[in-house]
Each structure stands twice: as C-alpha cells, then as structure tokens.
Amino acid sequence: MSEPASLLYSEVEEELRSAVRGLLADKCPPSAVLARAEAASGGDVPYDMDLWKTLARDIGVAGLLVPESLGGAGASAREAAVVMEELGRAVAPVPFLSSAVLATRALLGAGEEAGDLLERLASGETTAALAVSFAASPYVPLYLSLRPAVTLGRDGTLTGRVTGVVGAEVADVLVVPAVDESAQEGGEPVLCVVEAAHARVKGVGSLDLTRPIATVSFAGAPARRAGTSAGVRDALLLAAGLLASEQLGVAEWCLTTTVSYVKERKQFARPVGSFQAIKHRLADLWLELVGARAAARNAAALLGAGADAGVAVAVAQAYCGTAAVHAAEECVQLHGGIGMTWEHPAHLYLKRAKADEIALGTPGDHREALTWLADLPAPES
C-alpha cells in the first residue's frame, strides 16, 4: 500500500469544481431536478441534455478521460472524481457517468478502431452508453455478468437484450459487449458499436428517478466491431471508484441541508439541533463523511496514477456506499414530516444513494473482494 499522490484537492481540481458547481447552481437547482423527477415518474426521460451539452462542451467534462491525441483533455480520474462529487451534490440528471466514464473507458480499452468515436465523445458531439447492467460488479467475470448475452452474428448484426442499463435513453450510440458467434466457445466477448436508432430502448420504472434504468434490445441490429471487450472490466472498476465521489457529494448535500434545517427548526422552544441526541448523530455522520472523503480521494488518486487501485476502490465503495445511504436516511428522519414529502428534494438523494449502493457492486461485494485483495481468507468450508 504505497502512498499515492496527495489526498487533498489541487488548485486545478478546485477550479474545475467551482466551474461545475457554478453552472449547476444556476441551471440545476433542486426545484429543477424535482420537476424532472416528476416528469420521470410519469415515464419521461429525466436527463437535461441542454445542461449536459454545456457541461460536456463548454466546461469540457465529456473529454476529461480521453487523451489529448484523441481530442480530449487528457486529465485523470482525480478531475473526473471532482465532477462526480458536484454532480452528486446536485443529483444532476446528466449522462456523465454513463457516457464520459463507462462507455468512454470501455472504448479506450478496445483498440484503435474506437478512435474516431472517442473523438466525437470527447467533443461532446456524441453521447454513448455502455450496454452492461448498472448492477454489474467489477469482480464478476464479464461472460458471467452478460446473461442473457447479446450475440454478434456471422452477418455482423446484434441480437439479444440487456437489462438495467443507465443513460441509454439519451445515447446516440450504444457500446455493447457481445459474444462473437464466429469465435470459438468461451472466448472473450467483443465490443460492438450500434447506432441507437437500431436498438430498442425501453425505460423501466426506476427507484432512482434522476438516473433511471432501461432495457436495451437488439434484433438484428447492424453493428460495428470496436475491438476487444478488455476495457469493460476496467470501466466497471473505474466507475465504481468514481462512484464513491458521487456518493460523497450526495452525502455532503444531505449533511449540510440537515444541519441548516435543525438549526432553524424549533420545538420545545429550542432549535431541534440543540438536543444532544441529534447533535451526536450529526457528529457521527460528519465523522463518517470525513472518512468517506479520504477513501474516495484515495481511490481517485490511485486510479488517476494508473496504479493498482483494486484495494482502494473496494475500500472506497464498501465505505462510501453505506455512508451516502446513512446520510440520506438521516436527512429524511431529521426533517420530520417534511422529509417524507414529494416537494422536498431529500427523497431524490435517498433514491440516488440507495440505487448507488447497488450500482457497480454492493458494499458487501466490495468487502468480500478484500478476501483476496487484502489476503483475509474465508473459512475453508
């Protein structure tokens, strides 16, 4: 466990944060997200694509992880993590994680054929989604998590169905790991690219209204091979590591909002925040967030340095997933009745936190990975 680069935020990272935060404060206040969640509950797509275009192009977040040679910013996971924190703090309905992290990272591992698509993704001109379940864990071999599998026929078309996909409703192209029928049995899946127009994307009623899941089906969809699917596992690991920063952002909003509420709200002729039972709960939550920040920063720093980040990601996910849910649950509870209402944004954070807990491996999956990552062997039987 060598010490990575700093766990603090650099000046560049703070500048990026304030640009993203400023834009979100302006274009993505809780009232706006609530309106989109309301629409999503009726079956609409919640994503704010105008906001996404501004973020992607003007601030340049779409190309953060793409090398400069392909028109990207050539930044690292550290910068992407700061963006995730801010998007989490605002539960912003934009396809950053699905397009600029998951799909982009999968393509970066595919080979040279993916180059031109990566350039379009980096510029923000095109948006993509990775057709893998959001509940997939980076610890399960890809061929096992691809069930029912999508197959690439000898005629070059795709057939099959993937459930639990995020960001597909607003993707121009789908990046699809598929079993190649012409290859031998048990071979690694290949990575294909399909125009969204050739796929069927059907939204599913989702717990997280601001990042819903969809089922993506292909029935003889014309596909282009983009190379190997070797980058998919790396994409899942990277996304899991960065998700810890989103969870940190979610938890921070919940803590800050709750602290201001209990300072104002009076019962028994005193602010409810002056009761020790409540002060101690919030102190414990703050403590959990201090740990969550250290864990999330460590994962981002190691992922960013291209070092072995397995332990760091597992630790960050095992810790931050639970911390965000805890923060959101405390937020609802300590707001009393108002916390239970549709009008108050607390539920958006609760739903995001709970969905994030499942996404890319549950805290339990990440803890169990430490059995081998940290050499803590399970009992024999």
Partner 1 sequence: MALDAAAVGERVQAFLAEHDPARMDRLDFLRARFDAGLAWVHFPEGLGGLGASRDLQAVVERGLRHTPDNAPGRIGIGLGMAAPTILAFGTEEQRKRFLRPLWTGEEVWCQLFSEPGAGSDLATLATRAVREGDEWVVDGQKVWTSSAHHARWAILVARTDPDVPKHRGLTYFVCDMEAPGVEVRPLRQITGEAEFNEVFLTGVRLPDALRLGEVGDGWRVAQTTLMNERVAIGGAPMRRTMIGIVSDTWRSRPELRTHSLHQRLLKLWVDAEVMRLTAVRLREQLAAGHPGPEGSAAKLAFARLHQELSGLEVEMLREDGLAYDDWTFRRPETVDFMGREAGYRYLRAKGNSIEGGTSEILRNIIAERVLGLPAEPRADKDVAWKDLPR
Nearer to partner 1, 17 or 224 (CB): 17
- CA dist 59 and 298 (Å) reads 25
Considering the complex, what minimum distance in angstroms separates the CB of residue 272 from partner 1?
A: 10
Single-letter residue type at 23: L
The residue from 105, 211, 233, 297 that contacts partner 1 (CB under 8 A) is 297
Residue 286 within binding range of partner 1, rule CB under 8 A:
yes
Residue 298 within binding range of partner 1, rule CB under 8 A:
yes
- CA dist 77 and 358 (Å) reads 21
The residue from 290, 307, 338, 340 that contacts partner 1 (CB under 8 A) is 290
Considering the complex, what minimum distance in angstroms separates the CB of residue 235 from partner 1?
A: 23
Instruction: Evaluate whether 9 touches 1 at the Cβ level (below 8 Å).
Output: no
Using the contact rule CB under 8 A, the part of the chain among 2-10, 42-50, 190-198, 335-343 near partner 1 is: 2-10
Residue 264 within binding range of partner 1, rule CB under 8 A:
no
Residue 149 within binding range of partner 1, rule CB under 8 A:
no
The footprint of partner 1 on residues 221-260 (CB under 8 A) is 259
Phi, psi (degrees; rounded to nearest 5) at 128: -125, 165
Single-letter residue type at 93: P
What's the token pair of residue 168? 């597909």
Residue 293 within binding range of partner 1, rule CB under 8 A:
yes
The residue from 8, 112, 184, 267 that contacts partner 1 (CB under 8 A) is 8
The residue from 11, 112, 155, 375 that contacts partner 1 (CB under 8 A) is 375
Considering the complex, what minimum distance in angstroms separates the CB of residue 146 from partner 1?
A: 27
Phi, psi (degrees; rounded to nearest 5) at 130: -95, 125
Instruction: Evaluate whether 236 touches 136 at the Cβ level (below 8 Å).
Output: yes
Using the contact rule CB under 8 A, the part of the chain among 28-36, 94-102, 229-237, 287-295 near partner 1 is: 287-295
Using the contact rule CB under 8 A, the part of the chain among 63-71, 191-199, 228-236, 314-322 near partner 1 is: 314-322
Q: 């332990």: which residue's tokens?
A: 311
CA distances from 134 to 145, 257, 381 (A): 11, 28, 31
The residue from 10, 69, 182, 274 that contacts partner 1 (CB under 8 A) is 274
Phi, psi (degrees; rounded to nearest 5) at 15: -65, -45
**Which H or E run contains 192?**
strand 190-195
Residue 282 within binding range of partner 1, rule CB under 8 A:
yes
If one counts every other C-beta atom within 10 angstroms of the C-beta of residue 242, the result is 31
The residue from 17, 53, 279, 354 that contacts partner 1 (CB under 8 A) is 279
Considering the complex, what minimum distance in angstroms separates the CB of residue 333 from partner 1?
A: 16
Nearer to partner 1, 4 or 95 (CB): 4
Q: Which residues pair with 129 in a beta bridge?
A: 174
The residue from 2, 268, 276, 337 that contacts partner 1 (CB under 8 A) is 276
DSSP one-letter code for 58: I
Instruction: Evaluate whether 158 touches 194 at the Cβ level (below 8 Å).
Output: yes
- Give the count of residues interacting with partner 1 (CB under 8 A): 44
Q: Answer left, alpha or beta for residue 266, where phi above 0 means left and psi between -120 and 50 means alpha.
A: beta
Residue 295 within binding range of partner 1, rule CB under 8 A:
yes
Phi, psi (degrees; rounded to nearest 5) at 220: 70, 40
Cis bond before residue 379 (omega within 30° of 0) = no
Residues at the contact surface with partner 1, assessed by CB under 8 A:
3, 6-8, 259, 262-263, 270-271, 273-274, 276, 278-280, 282-284, 286-287, 290-295, 297-298, 311, 314-315, 318-319, 367-368, 370-371, 374-380
